[in-house]
Structure 1
Amino acid sequence: MTTERASTGPLHHDPTRRSVLQFALGAPLAAGLAAAVPVLSALPANAQARPAVPRIERVSIGRGTLRTVGRAAHLREVAGADSAARRSTAVGILATKQIRTDSFSGAALTWSGDAPSEATLLLRTRSRGGGWSAWRALHDDEHGPDPDFPEALRARRGTDFVITGDSDAVELRIETPDGEIPHDLGIELVDAGHSPGDAAVAAPYNGDMSAAASRPTIRSRANWGADESIRGSATYGQVRGAFVHHTAGSNGYSQSDVPGIIRSIYAYHVNGRGWKDIGYNFLVDRFGRIWEGRHGGVTRAVIGAHTSGYNSYAFGTSLLGSYGSTNPSDAALTAIARVIAWKFTVHGVDPTRVSYPSSLTPQPAIAGHRDAGATACPGDRLYSRLSIIRGRVANAMG
């Protein structure tokens, strides 16, 4: 159960709201499973490999919590954001008041059913004790379980998860030409919690691709402090290809920030979106480190929730950060190529062939998320470098 709170006033803090959900510490991976998967299952001796406790809160946004904002004032305030109101005068603007919240470090929007196709959702957050961020336009991230799977029955639509830094207030604007807003709209606010292992991070891979098809170093779920008590059981399919994603959000994170960022995405996917686990099979950071995503064994064909329709036939690797106008590091490109080359070797995938079932739209063996959905993911700068990743994978596999 998530906390729900209506927005009722400027920097309003509702004293009657239900307690923010805090997840209990979960058991670590079973000994047999940990031995079966080729990951770093132990942290350094000076760090405790125990899960951290994320906190997630949903601020419910209904028609009664919204007010009308004039177009001219709105355009002045959202300058620089992707605004539909700037492109058309036939757009109404609805807004919450400024909502004070408990501390959080990441935010996203979710809703039930389909979002109105013409609505633009804009969000800003206030740093704890500081100023407000710029307005961000958030879009349907097109992630999710395959529609014919049980996991999809309780899934909510949602936007990319935005890393905000330590924050304590939020405000939402909705630009809508027909007055419609998403059904059961909520602002999901996540605080990742802290784990003793967050700062105990090993050095990144050195970038050598000479043995890329051999098993790379993959940091385990225990290394990023996963609370295993909140996830469901793994299901298995096939690996015929790979999809490359980005997570959106900040690119300026440090090495010690990464475990908390992954925990935040995990909490958002499970308790914000209603999925049974984090959607990606692997995550890569800008320092070139590879992290285990969805539970079930990195050598196995675990079905994720990253590219709807293709999850049963492909694994998903997501680069932490936003790459629409920022170039991915060469270390990150190398890490993505390494994990793809190794997985293709494990599952016997030819990186030069298209081998999805005929019922699906043909895709390259290594594709970007946008190839299979109406999304900008993995960002223009990362998408334009898929040819580099493909070349490195092909060279590594001989």
Structure 2
Amino acid sequence: MRRPRLSRSRPRPSIVLASVAAAIVASPFAVVVAGSDPRPADSHREIPSTTIDELGLADVPSTVLDIAESGLAAAGIRLPEPDPRRADPSADDRPVGAVVKHITQDKPLKMVGFTWERAVDASMLLRAKRTDGTWGDWTKLEPIETADAPTPEHPMGTEPIWVGDAREVQVAVTDDGLAIPAAESPSGGLVEWGIGTASAVVEKLLTTAMSAMTATLISPESLLSLGSSLLTPLLGGPSVVARAQWGADESIRCSQPAYSPAARAAIVHHTAGSNDYTPEQSAEIVRGIYAYHARTLNWCDIGYNVLVDKYGQIFEGAFGGLDRNVEGTHTGGFNKSSIGVSMIGNLDQVAPTPPMISSVARFLRWRLGKAGVNPSSTTQLTAEAFTDSKFPAGAVTSLPAISGHRDYNNTSCPGELGYGALTAIRSMVGGAPPSPSAPAPAPAA
């Protein structure tokens, strides 16, 4: 059981993910062609570890920032109006700013997420310090909604965000855009400002939200390289970076895949992380998401069926075979009979690149054609119970065969610019003539 106020790294066993090496290229375990049984990666190779360190957010050092100079005001954050009758006289005329948490590490942080084990009503923004010493923009962290209330065994969390080589990040926790106000004391500590109408905000954020939150620091090992020699061709479709090739350690999966009788729709997502990554780092991002989904959130596997980076590299997601109707964990209430494709990046901030759009279209052209789905048609899915769904349990949807996550759930995913790209994706996929075929038998457990 994890305790959210623990400030040191918890003694959870390291998460081990397979490395990509020359041996993989010749390995028979990397086959992901249509009609073949999916097989786990070779467990006898030497593999580096992906570590996950967890810090109670309440115990992370705080600092106070001027909301204008820090960019918080531009990000929509404001301070509550103080009540002069309750102002702290020790604050004098010192400027009041917003309290944020400051996480530092003597090595690259790489990927950061936040989880909570009891209900939390707050929003979060994060910024990372660049290697040149300047701070990047604030990014709003998107929550991952689940069907049930959070528990220590199955916490809720934000989408993890890639920060790469950054060794410092700052996190602002807010209540409907209101931050915790404070001023710096002469001794260097923080003096809580007279809060008046902000008292409920401060109490909620300090005693309820921050005390329940855990910062999750994910450090996947880097790859030697990614290139054409590491790509696996799908029979009649595009080449992909298979699970064994991006370094999935199948020993951290805690269940066998579930299969739907048919695939009827594709649902497009974005990872909501950073847009600043290299082609080699894409595999690290996928391994980090895999570790976070499988172990931190206890989903047993990565939630998406496929991930596509801005360079057009296609990564195999959930275990079970890309030509089979594997049920992922990507769209609450609609994981059955759907294919979850996630574009790597924050597509509220930048538009998907032409290579990314082209690769998403190439994959869906192949996959929907194999499923016998007309990509220009509407399709029907039956909603299962899910708190954040736009549809009640039992409702039958009628949506485009290629839709966005926001069409099914109350979310901004796949971002404004990602959602806007769906028209182009549908157009590019539309040339695929449907070719119905029954899914191959599921592999033995």
In 2, Cα distance between equivalents of 1:83 and 1:66? 23
- Aligned pairs (5 A) from 1:154-173: 154-173=153-172
Match of 1:85 among 78, 81, 85: 78
Specify the SS of the correspondent of 1:200.
Answer: coil
In 1, Cα distance between equivalents of 2:275 and 2:74? 18
Give how far 1:397 is off.
2.3
2:123 paired with 1:120: yes
Specify the SS of the correspondent of 1:283.
Answer: strand
**Unaligned stretches of 5+ in structure 1?**
8-13, 43-47, 206-211
- Relative distance call for 1:222 and 1:33 in structure 2 (3 A) is closer
**Unaligned stretches of 5+ in structure 2?**
84-96, 179-200, 383-393, 435-445
Give how far 1:95 is off.
3.5
Letter in 1 for 2:162: I
Residue 196 of structure 2 aligns with which residue? none
Judge which range, 359-368 or 185-194, deviates more: 359-368
2:376 paired with 1:376: no
Specify the SS of the correspondent of 1:85.
Answer: coil
Cα RMSD, aligned residues only: 3.9
- Aligned pairs (5 A) from 1:181-196: 181=205, 182=209, 184-196=212-224
Residue 226 of structure 2 aligns with which residue? 200
- Relative distance call for 1:54 and 1:281 in structure 2 (3 A) is same
2:14 paired with 1:22: yes
2:295 paired with 1:259: no
Kindly, what percent of the aligned residue pairs are identical? 30
Letter in 1 for 2:227: V
In 1, Cα distance between equivalents of 2:264 and 2:373? 6
Match of 2:349 among 317, 325, 333: 325
- Aligned pairs (5 A) from 1:359-370: 359-370=395-406
Q: Is the 8 A contact 1:27 1:229 kept in 2?
A: no
Residue 112 of structure 2 aligns with which residue? 107
Match of 2:241 among 179, 194, 219: 219
In 2, Cα distance between equivalents of 1:50 and 1:327? 39
Specify the SS of the correspondent of 2:417.
Answer: helix
Q: Is the 8 A contact 1:288 1:334 kept in 2?
A: yes
Which structure's CA Rg is the greater one?
2
Give how far 1:393 is off.
1.5
- Relative distance call for 1:25 and 1:353 in structure 2 (3 A) is closer
- Relative distance call for 1:288 and 1:24 in structure 2 (3 A) is closer
Specify the SS of the correspondent of 1:396.
Answer: coil
Q: Is the 8 A contact 2:305 2:318 kept in 1?
A: yes
Letter in 1 for 2:49: V
- Relative distance call for 1:68 and 1:316 in structure 2 (3 A) is same
Give how far 1:2 is off.
7.3
Give how far 1:306 is off.
0.9
In 1, Cα distance between equivalents of 2:172 and 2:32? 48
Give per-residue Cα distances to partners, 1:92-119, cap 9 Å, x unaligned: 9554355546542011211124431xx2
TM value normalised by structure 2: 0.70
Aligned length: 365
In 1, Cα distance between equivalents of 2:78 and 2:416? 24
Specify the SS of the correspondent of 2:326.
Answer: coil
Residue 56 of structure 2 aligns with which residue? 60
- Relative distance call for 1:240 and 1:49 in structure 2 (3 A) is farther
Give how far 1:3 is off.
9.7
Give how far 1:37 is off.
4.0
